[in-house]
Structure 1
Amino acid sequence: MQTSPHTTKERILTAAEELFARHGFDGASLRQLTAAAGVNLAAVNYHFGSKDRLIEEVFRRRLDQLNGHRMTALSRIAGQPQTTLEDVLAAFIKPALELSHEGSGSLFMRVLARAFAEHDDTLRRFLSENYGHVMRQFTVEFARLLPDLSKEELYWRVDLVTGALTHAMSGFGMIQRKSDVTERMHREQTAEHLIRFAAAGLNAP
């Protein structure tokens, strides 16, 4: 029985995500990848063409969905007089935390953290060109709600909020889920604390 191309492609992406999370982009070899995915190098080249392209597709698979949910949530509240800073933060934070707690989502968050930690300029440029518009639209709404902040100060604060979210999503923090707390409850607690913390930081004098 032949394996469908879609299944093969997904298997390669899943194996790549796990290897990149564990070893980093340079540390994970194509030989390791083909062994983990149960495919040959020709299959990787057929579906992706290069390792750089494979890395990009690992990000697209998760970030297209994540940012789609973020933009849908933002569209419901942007520009509304009753919208609060906490509402906008919830639209930005909650979809990310939901992804990080779904299946292998936490693995991807470690991959995302590595993208920033390893200072890969090519990958950063890819993320900026393809997903930077999402952050810009959220920043427009933050600016509307925080008119006294300069553009530079606002960008500093939003960048720090994004870093705190990435840390919370990666599962590297000191606060781990207790055995008597469900995944959903832990996610909601994390969101509540992070939104409160981020709002205080954005609102600081």
Structure 2
Amino acid sequence: MARVSAFAKSLDDAPGKLSVRQRLMDASEQLFAEHGWNAVSIRTIVTAAGVNLAALHYYFGSKEQLLSEIFTARAKPIAEERVRLLSEIDLDNAPSLERILEAFLRPALTIGSDERFGGRAFVKLRARLATEPEQVSRRILSSAFDESSREFLEALARALPDLPREDLEWRFHFMLGTMFYTMADAGRIQSLTGGRCDPGRVEDALAHIIPFLAAGFRSKPDSKPTTTARRRPR
């Protein structure tokens, strides 16, 4: 509880003081990012925010709605920036695969250094939600990103007209996994490389991730693997 109390004090010390609603959003974003949505109780949130329980129910109604509003506020600028960057690409005349990938990845990888996108807390929250099998998490992620992601799937299909749709969708899935792990920046690769490889250096990360993913998208579709029934142990 010491860390929660310290966070509440930091909100009290903020210039001009934050509104009750913003205190709840800031406190819960930090807590959800650190511990996961399901592990944080409503009482922990209101204690961290330094407000009473009635305030959370008044402004948000439920913990799920609180998470949804945090995510909507943070994710909207990311989706809008992706679409803006995509609009600068001529999709009618052999669009550049690399430019499409950059338009999708750059806003996500700059979250940590761009205050419009929430900084490090939202990086951790988004990465955590992406790996949690909760229906709530899936619904919130879908609401925030499905529309813009479908635009990118169509753009990729234009850039790769000979790639079967199923292969395209699988490769998009693998791109998301690569993106989320890079965003999470868990420190593993820095430890292995003595800091030479650092996903936190956005331009370096983009310079390496884009050609890597482009090669994967351009690779020749393999024949469909055959599934063999496993023998039951005797």
- The structure, 1 or 2, with the larger RCO (C-alpha pairs under 8 Å, 6+ apart) is 1
| Unmatched segments (≥5 aa) in structure 2 | 1-15, 221-234
Judged with a 3 Å threshold, the aligned counterparts in structure 2 of structure 1 residues 5 and 151 are, in CA distance, closer, same or farther, namely farther
8 Å CA contact 1:34, 1:41 repeated in 2: yes
TM norm structure 2: 0.77
Once residues 96 and 168 of structure 2 are traced to their aligned partners in structure 1, the CA distance between those partners, rounded to angstroms, is 16
TM norm structure 1: 0.87
Superposed displacement of residue 196, structure 1: 1.5
Q: State which of 111, 132, 135 in structure 2 corresponds to 1:118.
A: 132
Counterpart check, 1:192 vs 2:207: yes
Once residues 70 and 6 of structure 1 are traced to their aligned partners in structure 2, the CA distance between those partners, rounded to angstroms, is 30
RMSD of equivalent CA atoms: 2.7
Superposed displacement of residue 170, structure 1: 1.4
Moved more, 104-113 or 90-99: 104-113
8 Å CA contact 2:86, 2:100 repeated in 1: yes
Once residues 5 and 191 of structure 1 are traced to their aligned partners in structure 2, the CA distance between those partners, rounded to angstroms, is 38
Once residues 98 and 116 of structure 1 are traced to their aligned partners in structure 2, the CA distance between those partners, rounded to angstroms, is 17
Once residues 195 and 111 of structure 1 are traced to their aligned partners in structure 2, the CA distance between those partners, rounded to angstroms, is 24
Secondary structure, in 3 states, of the residue corresponding to 1:108?
helix
Aligned positions of 1:22-37 closer than 5 A: 22-37=34-49
8 Å CA contact 2:123, 2:183 repeated in 1: yes
Superposed displacement of residue 151, structure 1: 0.9
Q: Sequence identity of aligned pairs in percent?
A: 36
Return the letter of the residue paired with 2:32. Answer: F
Return the letter of the residue paired with 2:211. Answer: R
**Stretches of 4+ moved more than 3 A in 1?**
175-178
Q: Which structure shows the higher helix fraction?
A: 1
Structure-2 residue corresponding to 1:165: 179
Once residues 140 and 110 of structure 2 are traced to their aligned partners in structure 1, the CA distance between those partners, rounded to angstroms, is 24
Aligned positions of 1:100-139 closer than 5 A: 100-102=112-114, 105-139=119-153
| Unmatched segments (≥5 aa) in structure 1 | none
CA deviation map 1:120-172 (0-9, x unaligned): 11331232244211110000010011111111110000011011111111122
Q: Could you say which structure has the larger radius of gyration?
A: 2
Structure-2 residue corresponding to 1:67: 79
